[in-house]
Amino acid sequence: MKKITQLIQTFSPNEITSLRKYYAINSRQDTILRNKLFEITLEKSPKSDKEAADLMGSKTGAAFSMLKKRFYQDALKILFWGEGSKRFKSKFYESRYRVRMMIMEADILLDRQLISSAGAILRKAERTANKFELVEELLLLKDLKQTRRSLSKTVLGYHQLTKDKFEHIDDIKDKLIALDYYKQIVMPNLVNANKNLNYIEKSKEANILLKKLSEENSNATVQYYYYRSQIYYFHLVSDYIEAEKIAIKYADLIKTSPAVHSNDAMGSAGLYLSNISLQLTKYDDTIQFANEYMDYYYFGSPNQEALHANLFVAYLFKGDFINANEQVKIVTSFKIVKPGNYIHSQWMFYKANLEFAQQNFQECLALLNKQTVLTKDKAGWWLGYKLLEMLCIIELKNYDWLEYRTETFRKLLSKVRTENIARPKIILQLLKALVKENFNYKSISNKFHVQLSLLKQSKNEYRWDPMGYEITRFDTWWSEKMKKPVRKN
């Protein structure tokens, strides 16, 4: 009964009404019993066969098992026939469902020799399938037409259907290959067993092959995977100018092609454009894209949270602290964000950076001390946590604490194996030099001129990531401290 109960619990009010109507027009004894089982399941949610049988005043056994089986089939029929377009995430999925239904309807009509009616249905199905590039369904449709001599009509018609089927098979194959290339780029561990292979080089190879495929096949799904893989690859190599060009093409494809258009896909276009604009420090564009595409995702979703994170960082760097704080308020109201979980701690870290930007250093340190969850992320956010903590210590002039904190930071860096730590290593050098040279920023800047230049230039492994853990940019902070170079004893 567990499987049946779980299914019935998912029924909408319309589906419940439809099943009741189905049973109401049939007065056979077995139908009456199935209706009784339905009402008991709906009201009592029995978890075992014995419990359900007892509620019905019967016994478990072969007859009851058959009753369950037939009732389950009834419920599935309601799901299959009863729901409208609301259950589909996009017009693509709705159209695919409708085309499959029409193919089955035509097949039934052909069995009854209603050839004209079947032909009309298949023509309508074919128009829809072509519009949404439903190549799998087109293959089924052409196969049905070919196997029914009344629809293929002539020898030429038969051979044309064969040719069409091979073209559809090629399209299906290309879609699968495109997906595979895309997975090689975004999920390397699935396809790259040799850990010594260079990930970026392998991604580049897959992208070249996918580009060639996209040039040979204009199928929207192939283009969809090509653009997404290009965006991801350019992110890997930090070429955000090229990534922006591809993201604009991707957004146009999603807007104009029914085959790949959906709310989620539209949202992903906005997320790409917002992310890339942030990397290019185009903060106004970041804000525009995030707000424009926000409602394509449902309220409180992880993707909405990601767009709000972009908004937070953009507002923070623009000095718009009121709107930055508004993002914190919105996200912490989401159901997925609960005190003590990882996302909540991450947003409290954002808020701590906001307090730091407003020179509320004590409040910043207090927020950090409350977020112990981030200390478990030893490769990413904990580095940002400890770095911001050390900056607070300096700003609060608790200089005696810094030597111990820098040693802790050094030990933390020594344990990181999977992340690029070239940038935090230079930051550690500078902080240790501060302690050694009595916080003489000018003297240290002269000695570590090369290292500071690497941080400021922000290239290759020293690149600063506005979406990463170094939200308060260290070299910018250092430049501000240069105005007060020497510590007073």
Domain boundary at 58, 83, 108, which? 83
pLDDT, residue 193, reads 37
157 found inside a domain = yes
272 found inside a domain = no
pLDDT, residue 82, reads 58
Sorted by sequence, the CB contacts under 8 Å of residue 297 that are 6+ apart come out as 263, 264, 267, 303, 304, 307
Q: What are phi and psi of 72, to 5 degrees?
A: -65, -40
10-58 tens-digit pLDDT = 888 888 888 888 888 877 887 888 888 889 888 888 888 888 888 888 8
Residues 79 and 108 in one domain: no
Domain boundary at 147, 182, 217, which? 182
The SS3 of residue 141 is helix
pLDDT, residue 194, reads 37
Identify the CA nearest to 233 among candidates 277, 188, 270: 188
pLDDT, residue 486, reads 52
CA distance 297 to 285: 19
463 found inside a domain = yes
Two tokens at 91? 């017009």
Identify the CA nearest to 110 among candidates 147, 142, 162: 147
Sorted by sequence, the CB contacts under 8 Å of residue 225 that are 6+ apart come out as 178, 179, 181, 182, 210
320 found inside a domain = no
Identify the CA nearest to 180 among candidates 205, 200, 201, 216: 205
Give the CA angle between residues 470, 472, 476 to the nearest 5°: 110
235-271 tens-digit pLDDT = 888 899 999 999 999 999 999 999 999 999 999 999 9
Range of the domain at 454: 338-489
Residues 355 and 476 in one domain: yes
135 found inside a domain = yes
Residues 75 and 137 in one domain: no
CA distance 100 to 106: 10
Whole-number Cα distances in Å, 17 to 22, 74, 75, 213: 9, 13, 12, 49
CA distance 471 to 460: 18
The fraction of the chain above a pLDDT of 70, given in percent, is 93
Residues 351 and 384 in one domain: yes
CB 462 within 8 A of CB 426: yes
Residues 161 and 33 in one domain: no
Q: Which residue has the tokens 């019993």?
A: 33
What's the predicted TM-score (pTM) here?
0.77
270 found inside a domain = no
Residues 76 and 98 in one domain: no
Two tokens at 5? 């109960």
Residues 100 and 178 in one domain: yes
Residues 458 and 372 in one domain: yes
pLDDT, residue 197, reads 42
pLDDT, residue 488, reads 46
b vs e for 125-152, b when ≥16 Cβ sit within 10 Å of the residue's Cβ?
A: bbebbeebbbbbbbbbbbbbbbebeebb
Two tokens at 291? 């707000």
Instruction: Tell me the pLDDT of the chain (489 aa) as tens digits.
Output: 888 888 888 888 888 888 888 888 877 887 888 888 889 888 888 888 888 888 888 888 888 888 888 888 888 878 766 555 456 778 888 899 899 989 998 998 888 888 888 899 999 999 999 999 999 999 999 999 888 866 777 888 889 999 999 999 999 999 999 998 888 877 754 444 334 346 677 788 888 989 999 999 999 999 999 999 999 999 888 899 999 999 999 999 999 999 999 999 999 999 999 999 999 999 999 999 999 999 999 999 999 999 999 999 999 999 999 999 999 999 999 999 988 888 999 999 999 999 999 999 999 999 998 877 877 765 578 889 999 999 999 999 998 889 899 998 998 888 876 667 899 999 999 999 999 998 899 999 999 999 999 999 998 889 999 998 999 999 999 998 887 655 544
pLDDT, residue 198, reads 62
Q: Which residue has the tokens 């589906």?
A: 15
260-305 tens-digit pLDDT = 999 999 999 999 999 999 999 999 999 999 999 999 999 999 999 9
The count of domains in the chain is: 3
Identify the CA nearest to 306 among candidates 338, 279, 277, 268: 268
Residues 175 and 99 in one domain: yes
CATH number for the domain that contains residue 401: 1.25.40
CB 378 within 8 A of CB 415: yes
267 found inside a domain = no
Residues 102 and 67 in one domain: no
428 found inside a domain = yes
Domain boundary at 61, 83, 105, which? 83
Longest dimension (CA), the chain: 101
pLDDT, residue 379, reads 52
Residues 157 and 39 in one domain: no
Alpha-helical regions (H) of 294-419: 302-318, 321-331, 342-357, 361-370, 381-395, 399-415
Residues 71 and 104 in one domain: no
| 3-state class percentages of the chain: helix first, strand second, coil last, to nearest 5 | 75, 0, 25
Two tokens at 303? 């993707």
b vs e for 253-284, b when ≥16 Cβ sit within 10 Å of the residue's Cβ?
A: bbeebbbbbbeebbbbbbbbbbbbbbbeebbe
Tell whether the torsion through CA atoms of 72, 77, 80 and 86 is positive or negative: negative
Identify the CA nearest to 140 among candidates 104, 110, 112, 181: 104
What angle in degrees, to the nearest 10, is found between the helix axes of 302-318 and 283-293?
A: 150
Read out DSSP for 64-78?
Answer: HHHHHHHHHHHHHHH
